[in-house]
Amino acid sequence: MCTVIGTQSSLFTRQDLEQALQATISRGPDDMRIIANDAGILGFQRLAIMGLTPEGMQPFELNGALAVCNGEIYGFRSLKNQLEEKGYTFASDSDCEILLPMFEEYGTDMFVMLDAEYACILLTADGRIVAARDPFGIRPLYYGLAADGRPVFASEPKNLTGLVQEILPFPPGHYYVDGEFHCYRDLSDVQDHLADDVTAAAEGIRKRLVEGVRKRLDSDAPLGYLLSGGLDSSLVCAIGQKLSDKPIRTFAIGMDTDAIDLKYARQAADWIGTDHTEIIMTKQDVLDALEPVIRTLATYDITTIRASIGMYLICRAIRETTDIRVLLTGEISDELFGYKYTDYAPDAQAFQDEAAKRVHELHMYDVLRADRCISVHSMEARVPFGDLDFADYVMHLDPAIKMNTYNKGKYLLRRAFMDTDYLPEDLLMREKAAFSDAVGHSMADDLKALAEETYTDEEFEARRKQYTHAQPFTKESLLYRELFEKYYPGQSRMVKDFWMPNREWDGCQVSDPSARYLANYGASGE
């Protein structure tokens, strides 16, 4: 990952931006550069993934305009060839160098043309500031207003703390220009459904997911894979292995007492033929990681924090022991195909509405987790299930065939790889377990016990009431909120609310976000 920051406010100097970038130095440890012109000032911290030469360092300059971008632009070589035919020349192999020529040619229409995971800031030759973010929000971007009313954009809340009063997430699928946000693509907005039946849908899913993985193997830095042994990560790894000419490197983590994932990850790794590494974490590892994780995430959400601890620790181990700089992950599948709780959707439209809600809010939860846990350890996340063509196709399928009417969640995704040699049937049909449970049920239990020890019942009731937005409702949620406020005081609105099952549905009236509290959890915890 890289860090970007930019503003037109005259209140800030180079030194102010340098200080702001120090908070995220692990996102871009390879280099840092700050450039100002008459329009404003841009800063960049580099994690070199594509175009590793010095010429690939940002900000890029073209005819008086400047640009910084944290991201990957897939298929950039064909766009680059088109621009070269128009007379543009390029100094590097960086995919992001194409942004300024594209803006010259297409203006803000360029954003809908990008097949990318990105966040960018441009200072135009005519003195405007333009910013944009990918449709899922896979790459982070936040903003706030300086004292003079001008916006400041940056990759993480840590960069903006002390520069602006209120920090908010930049809306995914939007660009900002001339003081306004404009939506250029909303993946949650589906007006019509495709006529594909189950057989056609399975074929369409398989073809597009394979291509989504293929795109994300383009890297000048070493690649690795996170493998939980669940359906999503196992499929990404299986596809990646088929597209590779040597064993891919996979990594799994679990508690030292009751890890569920480790045995399934080993089974998947053995079948796929990967170079596999297991990482063990203890209760003390979990407790020691809690505060650093919350500071890294900039969230108080229970689900996100629980799921992040294992990811944070596995990424730390990968960074400390390998040369890997890019990690492929299995995020975004659940939002598209359903969680355990979406088995309780009362009808097809309710299922689709819930998917739209999850896709719309994804940048505050699972996508945030993947970005922060990986980037804080100087690596880049790539998310094949977030491929725009793939996701758009799945969202447009008839929700009636996506619902669990098959006595098996995510049936369409499983069906897509039946009768192939990607995965054995027992792994392909494995029941879903939430990552925070699958690393070991004891992890969440240990965190709850810590919270119980921290507050009496009276303290809990008194202290939670000071928060009006996203009010803590358990001792665990209060513990997380107070740690969040320690680093991001008064910034709770960066997160909409707690991630929870839809409690308006019968069967979902639970007080804990873990799927193991649902009646349909079944064999997921085995």
The verdict on residue 188 lying in a domain is: no
476 and 356, same domain (yes or no): yes
Among candidate residues 114, 149, 183, the one where a domain is terminated: 183
The verdict on residue 446 lying in a domain is: yes
22 and 61, same domain (yes or no): yes
167 and 268, same domain (yes or no): no
Question: How far is the C-alpha of 427 from the C-alpha of 236, rounded, in Å?
Answer: 13
pTM score, whole prediction: 0.94
Question: How far is the C-alpha of 350 from the C-alpha of 357, rounded, in Å?
Answer: 10
- Find the domain containing 509 and state its range: 198-525
DSSP annotation string for 93-158:
--GGGGHHHHHHHHGGGHHHH--EEEEEEEE-TTS-EEEEE-TT--S--EEEE-TTS-EEEESSHH
Tracing tokens 């509405």 back to the chain, one arrives at 353
Question: How far is the C-alpha of 142 from the C-alpha of 148, rounded, in Å?
Answer: 18
pLDDT at site 518: 83
Q: Residues in the chain with pLDDT < 70? A: 50-52, 432-438, 440, 521-526
Express the helix, strand and coil content of the chain in percent, nearest 5 each: 45, 15, 40
- To the query of whether residue 2 is one of the catalytic residues in this protein, the response is yes
261 and 124, same domain (yes or no): no
Q: Give the CATH number, domain containing residue 391.
A: 3.40.50.620
| Half-sphere exposure of residue 510: CA atoms within 13 angstroms, side-chain side | 20
249 and 148, same domain (yes or no): no
71 and 205, same domain (yes or no): no
The verdict on residue 416 lying in a domain is: yes
The verdict on residue 82 lying in a domain is: yes
Among 148, 147, 167, 149, which residue's Cα sits nearest to residue 158? 167
What is the tens place of the pLDDT at every residue in 402-451? 999 998 999 999 999 999 999 999 889 887 655 546 576 788 899 999 99
The verdict on residue 193 lying in a domain is: no
74 and 148, same domain (yes or no): yes
Let me know: does 244 contact 344? Beta carbons within 8 Å: no
Let me know: does 373 contact 169? Beta carbons within 8 Å: no
DSSP annotation string for 434-483:
-HHHHT-HHHHHHHHHHHHHH--HHHHHHHHTT--TT---SHHHHHHHHH
pLDDT at site 52: 67
177 and 204, same domain (yes or no): no
3-state secondary structure 28-42: CECEEEEEEECCEEE
74 and 218, same domain (yes or no): no
296 and 253, same domain (yes or no): yes
Radius of gyration of the chain (CA): 22
Let me know: does 360 contact 496? Beta carbons within 8 Å: no
Residue 43 gets the label, from left (phi > 0), alpha (psi -120 to 50) or beta, of beta
- 3-class DSSP state of 258: coil
Q: How many domains does the chain have?
A: 2
DSSP annotation string for 408-444:
STTHHHHHHTTTSSSS-HHHHTPPP--HHHHT-HHHH
Structure tokens at 440: 């070991």
Active-site option among 2, 69, 315, 508: 2
Q: Give the CATH number, domain containing residue 93.
A: 3.60.20.10
The verdict on residue 15 lying in a domain is: yes
Among candidate residues 121, 150, 183, the one where a domain is terminated: 183
- 303-324 burial, b if ≥16 CB within 10 A, otherwise e? bbbbbbbbbbbbbbbbbeeeeb
Among candidate residues 183, 206, 237, the one where a domain is terminated: 183
174 and 267, same domain (yes or no): no
Report CA-CA distances (Å) from 334 to 190, 233, 411.
18, 11, 12
- 459-497 burial, b if ≥16 CB within 10 A, otherwise e? ebeeebeebeebebebbbbbbbbbbbbebbeebbebbee
Question: How far is the C-alpha of 368 from the C-alpha of 363, rounded, in Å?
Answer: 6
Question: How far is the C-alpha of 509 from the C-alpha of 500, rounded, in Å?
Answer: 10
The verdict on residue 202 lying in a domain is: yes
207 and 340, same domain (yes or no): yes
The verdict on residue 142 lying in a domain is: yes
